[in-house]
Structure 1
Amino acid sequence: MSNPTNLSPSDRKLAARRALDDLGHDRDDHALVRVRCGRSHHVATVFDTAAGAVYESLIGPHAHGRRDYIDEAHRTDRHRIHYVDLLDGDRNTDDTLPAHCECGGYELSRIQLRHAIDTHQRTIQLD
């Protein structure tokens, strides 16, 4: 794979999605950092992949866990977006990454996520 700093944003996201797909069903074993809100909802995860650290978050309404239901009426016009990107980028790459849980939307910092990985922090708890 090319150096992530030489990829366009769309190529970087495509490489990240392919790298996550390559992890298969056991990808939870490759989690480097998990991000949770103050109410312990899942916000985002960074995975260790062959392409490097990959950030993933579901943007929009979603359930708290595997057996929970979305806290919204049926046939809503809002849909979740599966946001995936390589954590590392070049100096022109925006530092903020979108994230979401049932409490609302967040913006996470690539630099802070990278620092958490470097210091072996497994979970980031948001306020």
Structure 2
Amino acid sequence: MSPEPDSRTKAEQAMADLTNVLTRTTDHRVLNVQCRHAHHLAAVYDTRAGLVYQAPTGPHAHGSKDFVDTAHDGGGPGHTFTDLLEPGPLVVDEVPAWCDCGHWSLSRQDLLARTRDGGGTVHLP
């Protein structure tokens, strides 16, 4: 089952509120997730609405001075998947992420456990 629409809306509003108040959302980032090649997969932010998971779902820049890779066919960059990390009663455990290595499925429960253990950066195998 997909995330509850209400959950996604709350998470997107919480991230918009952070962006409106701060110039750097990294001040509220509690967890970074990277693949073994150090590609950015996802981040977890502490917001007024609770922990928010955010991950790009397509090609994206790899740093603040990098440009998004655009295919020759003119396909644009992907979108951002944003949702509250705490699972609701009808929400699946897996959340999507993407990097140059391909598509990933991450576990909400694992991400919550990592944030409880102090956060930081997680490198996946």
Task: Decide: shared fold, TM above 0.5.
Answer: yes
Task: Say whether residues 1:107 and 2:105 are aligned partners.
Answer: yes
Q: Deviations over 1:38-91 (max 9, x none)?
A: 111111000000000000011011121122233443443354011100001223
Q: Which residue of structure 1 aligns with residue 61 of structure 2?
A: 63
Written as runs of structure 1 = structure 2, the 5 A alignment for 1:42-57 is: 42-57=40-55
Task: Say whether residues 1:37 and 2:35 are aligned partners.
Answer: yes
Task: Say whether residues 1:126 and 2:124 are aligned partners.
Answer: yes
Which residue identity is paired with 1:28? T
Q: Which residue of structure 2 aligns with residue 11 of structure 1?
A: 6
Which residue identity is paired with 1:64? H
List alignment gaps of at least 5 residues for structure 1.
Answer: 1-7
**Over aligned residue pairs, what C-alpha RMSD do you find?**
1.6
Residues 66, 34 of structure 1: alpha-carbon distance in 2 compared, 3 angstrom cutoff: same
| Contact 1:99/1:108, CA 8 A, preserved across alignment | yes
Within the candidate set 1, 20, 23, 2:18 is matched to 23
Distance in 2 between residues matched to 1:111 and 1:60, nearest whole Å:
23
Distance in 1 between residues matched to 2:25 and 2:61, nearest whole Å:
20
Report how many residues are paired: 120
| Contact 1:63/1:102, CA 8 A, preserved across alignment | no
Q: Classify the secondary structure of the residue corresponding to 1:13.
A: helix
| Contact 2:69/2:77, CA 8 A, preserved across alignment | no
| Contact 2:29/2:44, CA 8 A, preserved across alignment | yes
Distance in 2 between residues matched to 1:101 and 1:123, nearest whole Å:
16
| Contact 1:64/1:102, CA 8 A, preserved across alignment | no
Distance in 2 between residues matched to 1:102 and 1:66, nearest whole Å:
17
Q: Taking every aligned residue pair, what percent have the same amino acid on both sides?
A: 37
The TM-score normalised by the length of structure 1 is 0.86
